[in-house]
Structure 1
Amino acid sequence: MTELSVDTAQQVLDSQPFSGLVGARITEFGDGEAVLEIDVREELTQQNGFLHGGVLSYAADNALTFAAGTTLGPAVLTGGFSIQYVRPASGRTLAARAQVVHTGRRQAVVRCDLYTVDDERAETLCAVAQGTVLSARQA
């Protein structure tokens, strides 16, 4: 398992212009897990006031990849993922919690649960994602 710090993970995230645009941050990172958070704001919502599905998809993709990076090393790429939206996302913060399910030599399978958090810190599951992350060194 590759030991990387949450600070290093945040630096990688900060180097992604789109991540800066949405205001993403890594709040947990290590041991096959990663949590990515985004503060919900009007610019990230769709016409009904819910967080746009593309923002949820982005959060899942990056959380999956960061979690896999803790087991495969820092050079990783998303091989593919699917996401199921279970309810409209509204709240103060989006939290994408990813956990590696299995790691092989060249790829990892990762699950991500996406929650919205309200002002009272209550969490509501809004989407579930699963994906395959590839080691870029062997891609």
Structure 2
Amino acid sequence: MINPNFFFRTKLLLCFLAFSVVLQSCSSDDNRINNPNVNPISFSVNLNTNLPEYSQLQFPGNSVYVSGVGIRGIFVINTGAGIRAWEATDPNHVPNSCSTMTLNGTEATCPCEENTYTLFTGQDTAQELPYTLIEYRVAENGNLINVSY
């Protein structure tokens, strides 16, 4: 006969393992923490999609540049599956006079080395660079989009 404590211990071990996996998979800040080139600063900004400068965010595939927040501004995109926001400085070198990227539709390009990133995933289009774009937190409430770090 199997000891009843065996089932209890097995269930407890499985729950612990599942909880550990969930905790490890929830770490979305690794890219920001481990990037030696860019140190994001705290900010919070509200974007009202009823205003003309942000109204295009109501439609999938559209993006905007917002200056004056983050390190060099932020790019915000409606991916069709939600809103995402990214730092506008190239994550693959230290911020300098040419590291502010330019927005070209759904891509951002750094004029220093011509590094190009997609705003849908934050990855460089060649998928060769060590760091992806630094993503910021986004909360949507009706026509308001809050972006923060």
TM-score by length of 1: 0.30
Structure (1 or 2) with the greater strand fraction: 1
**Structure showing greater Rg:** 2
Structure with larger RCO (C-alpha < 8 A, sep 6+)? 1
Structure with a larger share of its residues in helix: 1
